[in-house]
Structure 1
């Protein structure tokens, strides 16, 4: 059965950097995010890894893992909320004490999705793919981003519905500060192959495909065992977002997932928006989606609110979900905290 952590205020947040930390000139970003959340009643335990960054990582792998293990086993911490992602979280997996993790939320995206997916697959504890802590440093949050609190506050057996954002951010403009950090300028439209309406059900799994693909063939990426042990062989709905992969590399990664059995007993795939999906030698991102849909005989949606072109929904790995996309009105994703 899937275990959903409790989220009851006042919440103590553990902040650690299992991937990248912050250079000195970036410290104010974390300090501002903590200040904003403390104003809403959150309490914090901030680890030492947050304040350092050297050679594409916050600290050596064992140091990062030790701090993460401490927070995963600390009963007083209800939420682990890294500042942001990075590049090399995969280095810490072999040092994580998965057998002694206490049931608590871990929230983030990008490189953090390696930890999220591995933790849910290994332990059956639900994890949350949504904003990073740094994203909450604004005076307020847009309605889509702000849903992370309501989603994490959902109790066993309850459901939560999220809808498409009204606008999304086309590019980062850090030099122009807004009340909610992002610059939401482009109309959001969730799309499907050939504009065919879809209605799918299943258990959510996913993350940043650039990094979660490296779990394939490891003890941390056994999707088949997860389905048998924790979700009674329910079908999976994959949500995937591409940060930096070229279109051909994305195609190769999806084929690897298929050959590894990750798409077996799958009910559909949701792809997030991406700036990386540039056409290569007349090979278009839509070619990738259409080829995959035909090969797997699965419904595929794309340009979903997920990933590095915010805002994004909060997806719960392991939760039961119903996804409706009609290409008009009525688009939604309902998540049920079903064991």
Structure 2
């Protein structure tokens, strides 16, 4: 069974950097996120790793792992939200004391999704793929991003519904900050390979495909054991987002996942919007999606609100979900059961 933490209003947010920390020139931006969240009623406890960044990591693996383990064991902390992702979170996975974790939400995306997926697979505790901490520094949050609070405050046994965004951000513009952080200018359209109306149902799992693929073949990516022992062989509904992979790299990764059994008893796959997916010799990302859908005989949905092209819905690893895509709009209902 899946264990669902519950976010309490006024809970202390623990911020630690299991992947990348914050460079000195960006400390003021980070402090703004701390101030905004405390004004919203969430005290913030900052770890030491967030203030440093050298050679593509916040600190040595042992240091990062210890700080994260300590925060997971600290029952005064109600939720952990890393400042953002990075590159080398996988270095700490084998140093995490999963058995000692207290029940609390971990929220984030990008490299953080390695931690989210591994934690759910190893412990059966739900984790949340959604906003990073630094993206909560705005005076306001857009409707899609703001749902993280309502989603994570949902009680075990309850359900929560989210909808696709109205608009998304085409490119970052840090030089001209907005009151909502993101510059939402482009109309959002969720798309399906098959028919105008598509419904997908299953247990959610996923993350940034660039990094979670490195769990394949390890004890931290044992999908078959999770299916058999934790979700009673219910179908898995995968969601992926691509940060940097070109189409051939994406295809190789998906084939490897298939060969490793990750798509056994899979009910569908959702792909987030991406600025990657560079075409190789005429091989486009739609070719990748079509081939995968035909091979697995499952529905494929793409350009969803997930990942590095914000905003994004909050997907809960382990939750049972029903996703409807109709006329370019998406509806996501998640049950915490």
Which TM-score applies when normalising by structure 2? 0.99
Map of 1:114 onto structure 2? 114
2:161 corresponds to which residue?
A: 161
Quote the Cα distance in structure 2 between the aligned partners of 1:278 and 1:167. 23
User: What are the within-5 Å matches in structure 2 for residues 233-248 of structure 1?
Assistant: 233-248=233-248
1:327 Cα deviation from its structure 2 partner: 2.5
Instruction: Give the root-mean-square deviation of aligned CA atoms.
Output: 0.8
- SS of the aligned residue for 1:2 comes to coil
**Residues 190-339 of structure 1 mapped to structure 2, 5 A cutoff:** 190-327=190-327, 331-338=330-337
Contact kept, 8 Å, 1:195 with 1:327, in 2: the verdict is: no
CA distance in 1, matches of 2:134, 2:332: 25
In 1: Cα distance, 2:288 partner to 2:267 partner? 18
- Describe the superposition over 1:77-111 as per-residue Cα deviations: whole angstroms up to 9, x where unpaired: 11001000000000000100011111100000000
CA-CA distance at 1:278 after TM superposition: 2.2
- In 2, Cα distance between the equivalents of 1:100 and 1:233? 26
CA shift digits 1:32-79 (9 cap, x unpaired):
001001001111110000000000000000000000000011111110
Contact 1:161–1:334 (Cα < 8 Å) also in 2: yes
Match of 1:3 in 2: 3
Q: Secondary structure at the match of 2:267?
A: strand
Match of 2:85 in 1: 85
Shift of 1:196: 4.2
Q: Report how many residues are paired.
A: 337
| Structure 1 alignment gaps of length 5 or more | none
Deviations 1:274-328 (A, max 9, x none): 0002222110100000000000001000000000000000000000000111225
Q: Offset at 1:197?
A: 2.2
Aligned 8 A contact 2:248 2:280 in 1:
yes
* Separation in structure 2 between the aligned mates of residue 194 and residue 280 of structure 1, nearest angstrom: 24
Secondary structure in structure 1 of the residue aligned to 2:219: coil
**Contact kept? 2:201, 2:322, Cα under 8 Å:** yes
Q: Which residue of 1 aligns with 2:180?
A: 180
1:6/1:194 Cα in 2 relative to 1: closer, same or farther (>3 Å)? closer
Q: Deviations over 1:176-197 (max 9, x none)?
A: 1100111111000000004442
Contact 1:192 1:327 in 2 (8 A): no
- Any idea what SS the aligned residue of 2:70 has? helix
Partner SS state of residue 311, structure 2 = coil
TM-score normalised by length of structure 1: 0.98
Distance (Å, rounded) in 2 between the aligned partners of 1:169 and 1:101: 36
CA distance in 1, matches of 2:43, 2:120: 25
Q: Distance in 2 between matches of 1:83 and 1:214?
A: 22
Mean CA deviation greater in 318-327 or 288-297: 318-327
**What does residue 56 of structure 2 align with?**
56
Moved more, 108-117 or 198-207: 198-207
Gaps of 5+ in 2: none
